A and B are shown apart, each in its own frame.
Chain A
Amino acid sequence: MEKMDPTGKSESSEGRSDSFLAKQFSKFTEINKKYAKPQITMTPMVRIALLGLRIYLIVLVLVLVYKFYTLIRT
């Protein structure tokens, strides 16, 4: 028999959903841990390329936010 709490939810089904969510979350943590140390050698060329990419993306996001803001204003 499944135990029922005062709200009427079954403990075992709640436990199951908790463990499912925990399992999914732990998967993300596991992936982050697995790839935590980048394999590529950080030569000056790689550093410059990644920095350039970061700047490019930040500018692009700012432009998109500006466009969104002007659209809402009109």
Chain B
Amino acid sequence: MNYVSRFYYQYRRVIKALQLYLLIAGPGLIVMIADNDAGGITTYAATGAKFGYALIWFLVLLGPVAYYVQEMTVRLGAVTKHGHAEAIFAAFGPFWGWFSLLDLSLVNWLTLITEFIGMTAALSIFNIPPVITVAIVVGIMMFMVVQGRYWTWEKLAMFFCLLNLVYIPAAFMVHPSVGSILQKGIIPNFPGGITAMLIFFLMANIGTTIAPWMIFFQQSAVVDKGMGKKDIPWGKLDTLLGAVFTVVVAIFIVIVTGTVLYGMEISSAAQASTTMMGTYPLVGTLLAIGLFDAGLLGAICISLASSWAFGEVFGWAHSLNKRIREAPWFYAYYFFAIITAGLVVLIPNAPLVLITLFVQVIAVTLLPAALVFLILLLNNEEIMGEYRNTTVQNVVSIAIVIGIIALSTLYAFSVLFPELFA
């Protein structure tokens, strides 16, 4: 009897903890899974096609990197109750504030265009014209916010996160050799030696792991959700699970393309999907659906990151818990960013490849600043109190930030001056 009652007590405890987690879950999972956006999917697909399973170990290492950076935004948002843009203005003054806000809006808008490029390419595989794709996306994004409830938006976003897992069944369908994956992918190795091409791919994978919008998005989402200091452990767990999911999805994409397209030159996820249609039609279809979903998730989060940032600084009502008439400027910016980015993709002969390359360069002007501000804020006792970084956290996060800044800067240089890396 005693054993039964103890078991029941433990069972109730687990259920209550799970219920509590489900209430808090959201920002961490969404930001991490949205990190696998259209650009990310393309990078992973190209990595698998180029190096097979050989770089899976590197993707595993990127999980903790993403977690350590994003976990800091949870603490900062929960303690200060300010988004990252407002926190920069308040802590570092108008010069750095305006620089971050304007750079963020430019980088985000350009990244939004790349999400639309991915989404239109994905649906064109099903003969859906780009104009219809743009209309569908705008419709979905309008539907998500029109209720005026953060909860509704978050649960719909989490549904799209679940759809991002289509790469897992796709990987099983191509029957990869588990032995080969473990043998080639788990032990760190540099296929073909440390070549310029390998370094380029490593830098590209890091570049897709941490983007400036993620820092701004998660901190604002934590504030909008109303998370406080007591919710920090759950927010960390949410971010950790998100980091695990994002790495798992990335690995399964590499497994798919590494099994079927190994040795081919893949320049986009849409191309990988079309090529796959010849031998594995269902897998090709799943890849296309996944690409559309990835672009949509990215677009949802990126446009919100900008709207929240402007709302915080300009003092507009800026919550998803408000209806459109209650927060008109917040939603006006949200729709302005989406619609104009969508329209750019519809312009005949628009320089979309140039825009895609330009994003990677411009992002490097913002990422170091956002990361350095994050570390400085997290070390300020007046702002963070007992939640400031510990010595161990500082050693790890500063090493990660220096690594990200160095590699993303090198990546931008390789895009600007490819002849240097030839």
Contacts and interface: CB of A to CB of B under 8 A. Distances in A.
Interface of A: 27, 31-32, 34-41, 45-46, 49-50, 52-53, 56-57, 60-61, 63-64, 67
B27 to A, nearest CB: 24
Contacts of A60: 364-365, 409, 412
A53 B313 contact: no
B314 A49 contact: no
24 contacts: A27-B314, A31-B94, A31-B313, A31-B314, A35-B89, A35-B97, A36-B93, A36-B94, A38-B90, A38-B93, A40-B377, A40-B380, A41-B380, A49-B372, A49-B375, A50-B92, A53-B372, A56-B368, A57-B365, A60-B365, A60-B412, A61-B365, A63-B416, A64-B361
Interface in B346-376: 361, 364-365, 368-369, 372, 375-376
Interface string B61-92: 00000000000000000000000000001111
Contacts, number: 58
Given A38-B93, A41-B380, A60-B365, A67 B417 contact: yes
A31 B93 CA distance: 10
Given A27-B314, A46-B376, A39 B416 contact: no
A46 B92 CA distance: 10
B248 interface: no
A67 B93 contact: no
Contacts of A63: 413, 416
Interface of B: 89-94, 96-97, 313-314, 361, 364-365, 368-369, 372, 375-377, 379-380, 382-383, 409, 412-413, 416-417
Nearest to A32: B94
A25 B383 CA distance: 30
B94 A41 contact: no
Contacts of A32: 94
B380 A31 contact: no
A40 B383 contact: yes
A53 B314 CA distance: 25
Nearest to A42: B92
Contacts of B380: 40-41
Given A31-B94, A36-B93, A38-B91, 19 more contacts: A27-B314, A31-B97, A35-B89, A36-B94, A40-B91, A40-B92, A40-B377, A40-B380, A45-B376, A45-B379, A49-B372, A50-B96, A52-B372, A53-B368, A53-B369, A53-B372, A60-B364, A61-B365, A67-B416
Given A31-B89, A31-B314, A35-B89, A41 B364 contact: no
